[in-house]
Amino acid sequence: MEISALKSFIDVAKEHPFPIQNLPYGIFSSKNNSNKRAGVAIGDFVLDLSLLEEHGLLDISHDGSIVFDQPHLNNFMAMGKSIWRQVRECITQLLSHDNPALRDNSPLRRVALVPMTEVTMHLPAKIGDYTDFYSSEYHASNVGAMIRGSGNALQPNWKHLPVAYHGRASSVVLSGEAIHRPCGQIRPKDEEAPFVSPSQALDFELEMAFFTGQGNLLGHPITIDEAEDKIFGLVLMNDWSARDIQKWEYVPLGPFLGKSFATSISPWIVTLDALEPFRISGPEQSPQPLKYLQQNKASSFDIQLQVDLATNKGAEMILCESNFKYLYWSMAQQLAHHTINGCNIQPGDLLGSGTVSGPSERSMGCLLEHSLKPIALPNGESRGYLQDGDRVTMRGWCQGDDYRVGFGELIGTVLPSLK
């Protein structure tokens, strides 16, 4: 059946991010059950996969082991693409309007479909490692021009490989968790001595990130043709950045304390199968990448992205409207490059895209790119960087015919420094 024609027995509005065409995975607990377990979002409900597993409607382990009654999705991620696809097809059938198995089983339906208002979401995976890329040419060019001038905006390596750094997995937090303003060494002027202070240049970064599934053995690279089969799905990501701390510390080894204090992600993982109808070609790459990075198919997705700001004085404003398609380096290229040296990826690793900026001022994915001209807010306030009490909300979605595949919201509020 054509994906746009799919219909669930659960009513879902056209603008809702979680129709039957989506079916993103997450980890949740509920008012009546404090155990963390796997679920799928469908409309305003969470479908409890652990209950479906218990009732024999999702028997995928073949050895009696429990897959979905777990506090993280790592075991499921490790099973690979064929199992992911099998489970997705089974859930789609169970939720279809013409399938009575769940629709007409009132006792099971009442407990298996938990209202979103009664759930608490948790990190979807036990994240072993976190890598953040720098894959938007627009972002890299804007920032490079600020530092080195427009004639030398991109470093010589930038169009030959996906630049990245390793981040701190322990400080990855879920949407809704507030972020304390970090402290660190800063040096506002070159002639001054550095001092320790709460950051005065706190920024958001509009990113997306993907979770890996089946990994590779140490010493065995993942090829470009294998890479997408290793990607479990995508989330929204806000890689909070203390620009003044980062500016002083980053030479010569790159970001450290200016990034490691917090990285926020959205709770629902959207699969590549859900995104497939929105696959498009990414930007033309010139010069042609080396052979291990060359792709033979369209490698990007038309995912609309938006960042909203709300202040504690009542101002609300859309700060950014961008799109995943603007990224120069694809997820497959990122993963192939990450492992060309034999680095071993594991289920549940998190790989960020880097700031997703586009060609216009409206599509700049962080405040740093606006820093030479602070943003005027409707109530007369302005923002060069984030202030205490500011709430940043990120959204992402793909627009289909009469349905929307969305990522939900990623929300973070800035709290005062603890120092």
| Percentage of residues in the chain having pLDDT higher than 90 | 92
pLDDT of 1: 55
Average model confidence (pLDDT) across the chain: 96
Question: Is pLDDT of 62 > 70?
Answer: no
Mean pLDDT of 55-79: 89
Architecture of domain 130-415: Alpha-Beta Complex (3.90)
Which residue spans of the chain are classified as CATH 3.90.850.10?
Answer: 130-415
CA distances from 146 to 30, 143, 322, 370, 382 (A): 48, 5, 21, 11, 21
DSSP structure string for 15-40: T-S--TTT--EEEEEETTEEEEEEEE
Question: Is pLDDT of 183 > 70?
Answer: yes
Give per-residue pLDDT as tens, 188-224: 888 899 999 999 999 999 999 999 999 999 999 999 9
Catalytic residues: 139
DSSP 329: S
Distance of alpha carbon 214 from alpha carbon 123, whole angstroms = 19
Mean pLDDT of 215-238: 98
List the single range of 36-50, 61-75, 306-320 with lowest mean pLDDT.
61-75
Mean pLDDT of 219-237: 98
Mean pLDDT of 342-370: 97
pLDDT of 151: 84
Give per-residue pLDDT as tens, 88-131: 999 999 999 999 999 999 999 999 999 999 999 999 999 999 99
Distance of alpha carbon 6 from alpha carbon 39, whole angstroms = 20
Mean pLDDT of 391-402: 97
CATH number, domain 3-122: 2.30.30.230
Q: Give the model's confidence band at 5: pLDDT under 50 very low, under 70 low, under 90 confident, else very high.
A: confident
Q: Give the model's confidence band at 149: pLDDT under 50 very low, under 70 low, under 90 confident, else very high.
A: confident
Question: Is pLDDT of 147 > 80?
Answer: yes
pLDDT of 139: 96
Q: Give the model's confidence band at 250: pLDDT under 50 very low, under 70 low, under 90 confident, else very high.
A: very high
Which residue spans of the chain are classified as CATH 2.30.30.230?
Answer: 3-122
**CA–CA–CA angle 217, 223, 224 (5° rounding):** 145
CA distances from 202 to 6, 18, 390 (A): 44, 32, 11
Question: Is pLDDT of 64 > 80?
Answer: no
Q: Give the model's confidence band at 300: pLDDT under 50 very low, under 70 low, under 90 confident, else very high.
A: very high
What strand order describes the sheet that includes 350-352? 164-166, 130-133, 350-352, 206-212, 231-238, 263-265, 172-174
Q: Provide the whole-model pTM.
A: 0.97
Distance of alpha carbon 335 from alpha carbon 325, whole angstroms = 17
Q: Give the model's confidence band at 60: pLDDT under 50 very low, under 70 low, under 90 confident, else very high.
A: confident
Question: Is pLDDT of 61 > 70?
Answer: no
CA distances from 130 to 77, 140, 143, 211, 279 (A): 16, 20, 23, 9, 25
pLDDT of 307: 98
